[in-house]
């Protein structure tokens, strides 16, 4: 059993550990419910802000509230599910400082899986709900002209977006292998990225959109997929082929995240700090 291949081992270890944490958390149902409601409320507040903004402005950068909800829904569903599945990796620096990362290294399961499932709790699903509702509504009411190709693409786009977010999350956490205290740097691309991608990116202007297309590829989480589903030309004039790129971007970023994790872990194991 100890000789099993590490990759499938990690795939089965994840749900086992996550489930064990869930049953442990379920012993405090009141606290669990309170947290679930609280994270639902926090996500709802962000959605509320979008309504407030569009109620004042009507249309922003050529998009109305229904189209905006499509961008919000795509971004929120990807970021919140990623946060649910591996949001705990952001505490890497804490584990390194407290020495608990060493204890993860002496167990026969990938430390990344142990990090991701640490204190895994269903309460974070509360955050997913408003995004899921917004996305479901927008898919029906944002004026998408549904073709079989577009219907088939939705799961691909959502999965690609989740892989992109997850990779950004892991890369952000790996910064802490190099500067243990700098966990908050990652927040600027993880939570900051989420805040950014909730609005149609056109509102930020050309320079920002280029940066989040070619440097930190957040544009492939909600902006390009949204343009594809709506069948709208890119208002900033970037090549139309980009809207077909999310799966490619996801694959490249996934490989990059795996590489950065390995480099970070190797550094940790050669310096011990």
Partner 1 sequence: MPDPLISVHGLGKDFTVRRKRRSTLGRTVPAVRDVTFDVAPGEIVGYLGPNGAGKSTTMKMLIGILAPTHGTARVAGLEPARQRTRLAARIGVVFGQRTTLWWDLPLRDSLALTRHLYRVPAQAHARRLAELTELLDLAPFIDTPVRQLSLGQRMRGDLTAALLHDPPLLVLDEPTIGLDVISKSTIRAFLLARNAERGTTILLTTHDLGDVERLCRRVMVIDHGRLAFDGGLDALRAQAPVGRTLVVDLAAPAPPIDVPGARTHRVEGPRQWLELTANPASVIAEVTRAHDIADLTLHEPDIEDVVTRLYRDNAQVTA
Partner 2 sequence: MRVYLAVLACGLRRYSTYRAATAAGVLTNSVFGLINAMVMLAVFHARPHIGGFDAADAVTQVFVAQAMIGPAATFGPPLDLGDRIREGDVAVDLLRPAHLTAWWLAHDLGRAAFAFAFRSLPTFLVGALVFPLVLPHDPVRWAAVLAAVVLATLVGFGLRYLYSLAGFWVLDTRGINAAAWILGPICAGMLLPLVLFPTPVADVMRALPWSALVQVPADILLGKTHLPGGTAGALAYQALWAAALLAIGAALTARATRRVVVHGG
Query: Could you list the residues that contact partner 2 (CB under 8 A)?
Result: 28, 30-31, 34-35, 38-39, 41-42, 45-46, 49, 52-53, 56-61, 179-185, 187-188, 191-192, 195-196, 199, 203-205, 208
**CB nearer partner 2, residue 15 or residue 205:** 205
| Both tokens assigned to 106 | 């002496």
Q: What single string gives the DSSP state of each residue in 58-73?
A: SSBTTB-HHHHHHHHH
Q: Is residue 196 classed exposed, middle or buried when 0-12, 13-18 and 19+ CB atoms within 10 A define those classes?
A: buried
94 binds partner 1 (CB under 8 A): no
Site string for partner 1, 236-265 (x = CB under 8 A): ------------------------------
CB 245 within 8 A of CB 224: yes
Contacts with 23 (C-beta within 8 Å, 6 or more apart), sequence order: none
**CB nearer partner 1, residue 21 or residue 137:** 21
100 binds partner 1 (CB under 8 A): yes
Partner whose binding site includes residue 56, from partner 2, partner 1, none (CB under 5 to 8 Å by kind): partner 2
Tell which residue, 162, 156, 157, 150, has the closest CA to residue 229.
Answer: 150
CB 204 within 8 A of CB 226: no
6 binds partner 1 (CB under 8 A): yes
**CB nearer partner 1, residue 28 or residue 146:** 28
Q: How open is the CA angle 122-127-129, to the nearest 5 degrees?
A: 95
Partner whose binding site includes residue 185, from partner 1, partner 2, none (CB under 5 to 8 Å by kind): partner 2
Partner whose binding site includes residue 106, from partner 1, partner 2, none (CB under 5 to 8 Å by kind): partner 1
**3-class state of residue 269 by DSSP:** helix
CB 79 within 8 A of CB 194: yes
Partner whose binding site includes residue 192, from partner 2, partner 1, none (CB under 5 to 8 Å by kind): partner 2
**CB nearer partner 2, residue 51 or residue 146:** 51
| Both tokens assigned to 141 | 């009411």
From candidates 61, 109, 154, 159, binder to partner 1 by CB under 8 A:
109
Residue 198 exposure: Cα atoms within 13 Å on the Cβ side:
24
CB 114 within 8 A of CB 9: no
Contact footprint for partner 1 (CB under 8 A): 1-3, 6, 13, 16-17, 20-21, 23-24, 27, 98-100, 102-103, 105-110, 114, 119, 266, 269-272
């Amino acid at each position: 059993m100890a000789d099993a291949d590490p990759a499938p081992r990690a795939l089965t270890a994840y749900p086992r550990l996550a489930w064990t944490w869930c049953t442990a958390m379920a012993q405090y149902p009141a606290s669990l419910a309170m947290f679930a409601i609280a994270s639902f409320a926090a996500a709802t507040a962000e959605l509320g802000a979008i309504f407030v903004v569009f109620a004042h402005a009507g249309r922003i950068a050529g998009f109305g509230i229904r189209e905006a909800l499509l961008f919000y829904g795509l971004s929120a569903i990807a970021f919140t599910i990623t946060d649910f599945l591996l949001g705990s990796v952001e505490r890497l620096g804490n584990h390194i400082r407290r020495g608990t990362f060493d204890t993860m290294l002496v167990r026969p399961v990938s430390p990344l899986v142990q990090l991701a499932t640490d204190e895994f709790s269903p309460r974070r699903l509360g955050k997913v709900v408003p995004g899921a509702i917004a996305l479901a509504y927008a898919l029906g009411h944002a004026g998408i002209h549904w073709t079989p190709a577009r219907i088939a693409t939705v799961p691909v786009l959502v999965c690609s977006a989740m892989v992109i977010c997850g990779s950004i999350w892991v890369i952000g956490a790996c910064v802490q292998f190099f500067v243990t205290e700098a966990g908050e740097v990652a927040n600027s691309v993880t939570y900051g990225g989420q805040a950014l991608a909730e609005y149609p990116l056109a509102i930020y202007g050309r320079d920002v959109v280029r940066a989040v297309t070619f440097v930190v590829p957040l544009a492939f989480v909600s902006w390009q997929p949204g343009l594809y589903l709506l069948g709208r030309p890119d208002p900033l004039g970037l090549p139309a082929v980009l809207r077909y790129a999310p799966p490619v971007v996801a694959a490249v970023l996934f490989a990059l995240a795996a590489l950065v994790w390995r480099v970070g872990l190797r550094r940790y194991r050669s310096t011990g700090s």
